[in-house]
Amino acid sequence: MKSIWDNDINQNNKFSILNDNISTDVCIIGGGITGISIAYELFKNNIDFVLLEKDKICSKTTNFSSAKITSQHGIIYSELTNKYGEEFTKYYLEANNNAIFNIQKIIERENIQCDFKYEDAYIFTQNVSDVNIIKDEYKTLNKLGSKDVELLENIDVNINCCQAIKFKNQASFNPVKYTLSLANIIHNKNKNIFENTCVQNIKEKDGKYIINTSNYLVTTKYVVLATHFPIKDIPGFYFLKMYQNTSYIIAVDIGTNEFNGMYINYEDPTISLRSLKQNNKTILLIGGNNNKTGDIDTIDKYSSLEKLAYKLYPNSKILCRWNTQDCISIDKVPYIGRFSKYTRNMFVATGFNKWGMTTSNVAANIITDMILNKQNKYEWVFKATRYKLSKNIKEVYYIANQTMQSMIVNKFKIKEENIDTIPNNTGKIIKVNGKNIGIYKNEDGKIYKINPYCSHLKCLLTFNSLDKTWDCPCHGSRFDIYGNVINSPASKKIEYTT
Ligand code: FES
């Protein structure tokens, strides 16, 4: 699976594996846009740090993003106002608007070539019955003092639209070029970014954290968990207040056609559109068709996106397709700040709800200020230790119910079956001699068997026939057919036999 940004990953990088024990002030774990943005702010403030990434820098979630930099986060402002009030929502909007400006300033200051461009972002509905929801959102934005929004009845794309809001002066960029450029700027000076360095555990001793990678130790005062899903479960309990959602993207060559703006619809299934230029051609990114990770069989998720591409531009050429997992917090506001009330010097940034390109910058500023003991005016909005059960009861019930099904109920639904009856090119969990086994038979009938329980908290996995992976419906871990982890929070391989 390759994204449109994939070719930019390996160019001119000099990061190595950690090859010595290190003592530092801050250890950032995770080398995507969030970790690197935090690293950049620490670098600007002359704070001593190291960054550890278990794979290649920027090769995971950042690489799979559609890379919109925007405060247009779906219909969120009326929802947040109802839940948390006007002041909270105003700060949320302002923090994200500032992030667009901050990113543009960094690009300008560091002279980064990453195809940054300002463009308008639109939220629209295709349903007459949802017109009032869009109008209410617009009213809320006006009340919040947003001057850069406009209510429209049409959008400039050949798809049905009943009502839309335009957010002016939003932006898009190449997320890999941006993040790697920042990483190279930091590393050229300090040689403190390490890739292919997997953290095994984090222990606290004498007021410091000892971070164990397979071969070396990092001793540090502060830890920042900037991994996609926090690699530590306790005492943060993020697995109880977050789930993962998978969305699908195709990149389409639409030739010399012009395409302006970034679009997302309100209803399901999601349609998300934005364009970029490559070799004088316009490449359209069409995304959507989201599902909760591990929830359903995902066999034809790309075909409707391709159908839309051909409808919009009959001569479309499909260049590549990929999917990505996003962490969704229960109230759709990211968790940024102290990891828990009991770990004063451990910080986290997660739950970006698909808008991580923008909120990674918010996170970088909040966490850097917290380390510097400086007041940040947005800290209280994104506070990671918040847990307002009464305001999010529906979402909490949803997460608890899904977890209960996969942890307990579904395990008893598996039927005794003969492996021979499973057709080729199929994955399934069956019972053999009273034991549940995950079976995948490839096109030639070769059998791959796994123990079908997630190595995170033992939920029953489901087979994803689109990617040929085993996915966890509880918190979104994913494993390949050999049981290797391809998406966290799981960190351990699951048992595999042939
Ligand atoms: Fe938590 Fe699987 S991801 S149990």
pLDDT reported for residue 294: 87
Q: Is the CB of 485 under 6 A from ligand 1?
A: no
Q: How far apart are the first and last CA of the chain?
A: 24
Instruction: Lowest mean pLDDT of 181-185, 301-305, 396-400, name the range.
Output: 396-400
What pLDDT, on a 0 to 100 scale, did the predictor assign at position 397? 78
The whole-number pLDDT of residue 12 equals 66
Confidence of residue 1 (pLDDT cuts 50, 70, 90): confident
Q: To which H or E segment does residue 470 belong?
A: strand 469-471
Tens of pLDDT along 235-273? 999 998 999 999 999 999 999 999 999 999 999 999 999
The pLDDT value given to residue 299: 65
pLDDT given at position 407: 74
What's the rounded Cα separation, in Å, for the pair 424 and 412? 25
> Biggest alpha carbon distance in the chain?
66
Least confident piece of the model among 349-363, 397-411, 470-484: 397-411
User: Does residue 453 line the site of ligand 1, with CB under 6 A?
Assistant: no
Contact predicate 227/197, CB 8 Å = no
Q: Which of 233, 293, 456 to mutate to test the pocket of ligand 1 (most atoms within 8 A of CB)?
A: 456
Segment 404-417, tens digit of pLDDT = 777 777 777 788 88
* Ligand 1 contacts CB of residue 457 (under 6 A): yes
b or e along 31-42 (b: 16 or more beta carbons within 10 Å of the residue's beta carbon)?
bbbbbbbbbbbb
Amino acid at 234: I
- DSSP bridge pairs for 49: 26
- Residue 109: count other Cβ atoms within 10 Å of its Cβ: 9
According to DSSP H, which parts of 111-195 are helical? 131-143, 175-190
Q: Whose CA is nearest to atom 4 of ligand 1?
A: 457
- Please report which helix (H) or strand (E) contains residue 283, including its range: strand 281-292
Beta carbons within 8 Å of 296's beta carbon, 6+ residues apart: none
Mutational test site, ligand 1, from 228, 402, 405, 459, max ligand atoms within 8 Å of CB: 459
Is the pLDDT assigned to residue 298 strictly greater than 70? no
Q: In angstroms, what is the span from residue 477 Cα to ligand 1's centroid?
A: 6
pLDDT of residue 296: 66
Closest residue to atom 3 of ligand 1, CA basis: 475
Tokens of 414: 């598996």
- pLDDT per residue as tens digits for the range 314-358: 999 999 999 999 999 989 999 999 999 999 999 999 999 999 999
CA separation for the pair 448, 371 (Å, rounded): 47
Average pLDDT of the segment spanning 181-203: 95
- Pull the structure tokens for residue 8: 């930019």
pLDDT at 440 over 80: yes
- Provide the pLDDT for residue 10: 73
Q: Pairing between strand 193-194 and 281-292?
A: unpaired
